[in-house]
Amino acid sequence: MNDGRKIPNINKSQEIRRLNKKLKRLQRKLSRKYEKQKEGGVNRYKKTKNIIKLECLIRKVHKKIKDIRTNYLHQETAKLVKAKPEFVCMENLNIKGMVKNHKLAKSIQEQTFSEFRRIIEYKCKWNNIRFIVADKYYPSSKTCSECGYILDKLSLSTRKWICPECGVIHDRDVNAAINLMKYGKSA
């Protein structure tokens, strides 16, 4: 947000971490059961009652994680819309390109950016708030919000940077929010 507040990452919450650990453990257990069957002869790949129970448990944990994330998205978007802003401006992120980075892929997919955008878009429509989508290649993080200087390169690991023109220290996310606000006002 352009006032310096940040929406916390739900995937770093204790509940989600606990459920992810549980999911990992159940999936390992299921895998071991299937591996054990490979050693068997005639009854190979037969779904035993224990395998069926485990698969059901895994489905329940997946659903629980999905429900927690969806609920969180609805709560956060409701907070944004209840503030009655003049407009909401979001970047059209290149998710396909981001997912190609195998180190980021899992965390990017867990964020469900498209779902967040869909929810905020329809809530803005309900409340007659203008919804603006910034261009995919708009340099919101790389542009200095004070003087307009555009940095050549800014890696994802760089969370704070200093403008070489005016010397202002920028937090990457807050700077991007301020630039998106300016983009929205000019649109």
pLDDT recorded at residue 43: 60
Domain limits, the chain: 138-187
- Three-class DSSP category at 132: strand
Q: Are strands 169-171 and 87-91 parallel, antiparallel or unpaired?
A: unpaired
- Residues 144, 150: Cα–Cα separation, whole Å: 6
- Per-residue pLDDT of the chain in tens (187 residues, 90 and over written 9): 667 678 888 888 999 999 999 999 999 999 998 888 777 665 667 788 999 999 999 999 999 999 999 999 999 999 999 988 899 998 888 888 888 888 878 888 888 888 999 999 999 999 999 999 998 888 888 888 888 888 888 887 888 888 888 888 888 888 888 998 998 888 7
DSSP-derived letter for residue 10 is G
- Residues 12, 72: Cα–Cα separation, whole Å: 13
Is 89 buried (19+), middle (13-18) or exposed (0-12) by CB count in 10 A? buried
User: What are the residues facing 77 on neighbouring strands?
Assistant: none
Report yes or no: 178 and 145 within 8 Å, Cβ to Cβ.
Answer: yes
Cβ neighbours of 109 (radius 10 Å): 12
pLDDT recorded at residue 25: 98
